[in-house]
């Protein structure tokens, strides 16, 4: 199970009550910053925008590819280690609004991680140092350090120990 905090709502669905949970102005600011960063070709500018304007914890030499979308409501709940690559059009979510509740969870991506293109990372997930996530993966649970994971639903393809045993 992912590590999320659950907040029940009454009446209409949780998404209809969004501005009771997060400020409209915060969402507007985050949306504008993220949309600019998505198309910015300069990695250092993206990292500066994420660190400074969105308060994300972004490591040194981390590379967010073109069109990566961090969470637009709670980006401060995302941390990414050093020397990590996040592939084209990946989405990193720290929230999920459901019919009768919303959930928040920290997303922790380690150092020297490679996340393939078009992946989606759900709230409350930890991806360990040196892990590899294949393209188009729905990361719905933790990925151990050094492991390779992929698919929908995601599964561990091999662990760090299995990789070392094969000499890769």
Cβ atoms within 10 Å of 21's Cβ, excluding its own: 16
CB 69 within 8 A of CB 95: no
- Go through the chain and tell me how many residues it has: 168
Cβ atoms within 10 Å of 111's Cβ, excluding its own: 18
User: Residue 8 falls within a domain, yes or no?
Assistant: no
73 vs 89: CA distance, rounded Å:
18
User: Residue 86 falls within a domain, yes or no?
Assistant: yes
pLDDT exceeding 90 applies to what percent of the chain? 86
51 vs 160: CA distance, rounded Å:
30
User: Residue 10 falls within a domain, yes or no?
Assistant: no
Domain that holds residue 82: 18-163
User: Residue 65 falls within a domain, yes or no?
Assistant: yes
The enclosing domain of 43 has a CATH number of 2.160.10.10
Residue 160 scores a pLDDT above 80: yes
pLDDT for 119 equals 98
Total domains in the chain come to: 1
User: Residue 155 falls within a domain, yes or no?
Assistant: yes
pTM: 0.94
């Amino acid at each position: 199970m992912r590590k999320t905090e659950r907040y029940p709502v009454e009446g209409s669905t949780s998404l209809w009550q969004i501005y009771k949970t997060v400020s409209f102005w915060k969402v507007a600011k985050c949306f504008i910053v993220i949309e600019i960063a998505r198309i910015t070709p300069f990695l250092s500018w993206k990292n500066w925008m994420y660190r400074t304007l969105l308060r994300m914890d972004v490591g040194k030499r981390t590379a967010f590819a073109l069109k990566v979308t961090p969470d637009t409501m709670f980006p401060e709940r995302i941390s990414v280690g050093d020397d990590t690559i996040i592939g084209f059009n990946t989405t990193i979510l720290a929230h999920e609004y459901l019919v009768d509740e919303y959930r928040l969870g920290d997303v922790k991506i380690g150092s020297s991680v490679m996340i393939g293109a078009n992946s989606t990372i759900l709230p409350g997930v930890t991806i360990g140092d040196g892990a590899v996530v294949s393209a188009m993966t729905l990361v719905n649970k933790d990925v151990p350090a050094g492991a390779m994971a992929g698919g929908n639903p995601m599964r561990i393809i091999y662990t760090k120990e299995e990789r070392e045993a094969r000499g890769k």
